[in-house]
Structure 1
Amino acid sequence: MSAAKQKAQAVIADNAVVVFSKSYCPYCRATKSLLTEQGADFFTMELDQVDDGAAIQAALEELTSQRTVPNVFIDHKHIGGNSDLQARKGELPGLLKAAGALKA
């Protein structure tokens, strides 16, 4: 298994909510805004700001069949991208609560 794949899997395993993002991406900003509005405690990895970002993005594609960012995981499960997250807005509070990812 590649180091990038192991790193991606470790980040997903260690955090209730993860957004693999790029700092300049408007869809990523929309995702992070929605999670912030919902009071979510989430971990963001900006793939354009880490040395192995391209390798991690390729590893995520292997894991999820999704190449694009944002790539969102809640409770260690792949949710998808921004449009997938926005489409689940109604169930988001429940998902975040179940994941233990709501700020106190």
Structure 2
Amino acid sequence: MSKETAAKVEKLINSHTVFVASKTYCPYCRATKEFFSTVYPDAYVIELNEESDGDEIQDYLYQKTGQRTVPNIFIGGKHIGGNDDIQSIGKKKAGELIAQAKL
């Protein structure tokens, strides 16, 4: 894993209120993107299967979070988990987390 990839991922996580690592063909990722389309349309989504370093980004996220699967979701720099996690939090709580992260 390159230091450049680690720095890139950390910058993306910390410079966006909501960061989602996704894959275009993943149904769980689609559900997460749909969730955020109504809660926070400005969520930053990176499609790992469209990035030349997507595998390395996914490896770094696994190393950082222990989660290998996508979607991999962060709000305010804090790891939330995957689609099941964001769906169980619900729109109201997710909205509160986003509001707190924007302060």
- Quote the residue 2:16 is aligned against: 15
CA shift for structure 1 position 35 = 0.7
CA shift for structure 1 position 82 = 0.3
> TM (normalized to structure 2)?
0.91
1:40·1:96 contact (CA, 8 Å) conserved in 2? no
- Quote the residue 1:93 is aligned against: 95
Select the structure that is richer in helix: 2
- Quote the residue 2:6 is aligned against: 5
- Quote the residue 2:69 is aligned against: 68
CA shift for structure 1 position 2 = 2.5
- Quote the residue 1:50 is aligned against: 51
Distance 2:39 2:29 in 1: 15
SS at match of 1:68: coil
Distance 2:6 2:69 in 1: 16
Alignment size in residue pairs: 101
- Gaps of at least 5 residues in structure 1 are none
- Gaps of at least 5 residues in structure 2 are none
> TM (normalized to structure 1)?
0.90
CA shift for structure 1 position 100 = 2.5
Matches within 5 A, 1:28-47: 28-47=29-48
Identity %: 42
**Superposition misfits of 4+ residues, deviation over 4 angstroms:** none
Greater mean deviation of Cα atoms: 34-43 or 46-55 = 34-43
Distance 1:39 1:73 in 2: 13
